[in-house]
Amino acid sequence: MINVNQTLTGKDSFTMVEDVVLRMYTLLDGFTIETAGLYAYLRSWRQNDPNHKLYSCVWLSREEIYAQTGIGRKPFDRHLRALTDCGLVRMEKGRLREPNKQVFVVNEPLTEAEFRALYPEQIARFDAALQEYYGRRAADQEQFEEKRKAKFQISEVKKPDPVPPGETPEKSEAIRELIEWL
């Protein structure tokens, strides 16, 4: 049970989520940045004392999680399914004396090397999407450069008359020589 009159952040609490969760797990189908947020939330509540019988566990009820996170039942279930499918969270029957209570076991994520070995198709799909984007960006850049050059060439064609009206060519030549000398 959450007691809102006591600290909700713990003593000197800090939750760290590895970059692999934010940058690589999100390549998995159904795993979004919101899923990573739920994982971070569960990590913030998990028991971190290795001597505790509920080490790595979160024993909040789903309703308590809904109330604190603002996530509804269906989005929660969807994100929880993604977390369980990839092994970041496992659900167990409650170890406490409450009926129908589930405990969420929050696991450590894979390392980048482990992730790459286990999910090469997702890495390849991500690379293909990046290459498609880079190709479009290069084509856009080329088109932009062509337009810029065309604009520059048109303005280059419209050169002003070398001899301003009312001046003699000799006077203009003398001014040009003076400028070159300087």
Question: How many Cα neighbours within 13 Å face the side chain of 46?
Answer: 23
Res 10: pLDDT: 63
Q: Are residues 85 and 141 in the same domain?
A: no
Q: Are residues 94 and 145 in the same domain?
A: no
- 8, part of any domain: no
Q: Are residues 81 and 146 in the same domain?
A: no
- Domain containing residue 159: 123-181
pTM strictly above 0.75: no
* Domain end (from 60, 84, 110): 110
Q: pLDDT at residue 93 above 70?
A: yes
* Domain end (from 110, 136, 171): 110
Asked if residue 104 lies in contact with residue 85, where contact means CB atoms within 8 angstroms, the answer is: no
pLDDT by residue (tens digit) across 126-164? 999 999 999 999 999 999 988 888 877 755 555 566 666
Name the domain count of the chain. Answer: 2
How far apart are the C-alpha atoms of 20 and 39, rounded to whole Å? 12
Q: Which two tokens stand for residue 97?
A: 């004396």
Res 1: pLDDT: 61
* Confidence band of 174 (pLDDT split at 50, 70, 90): confident
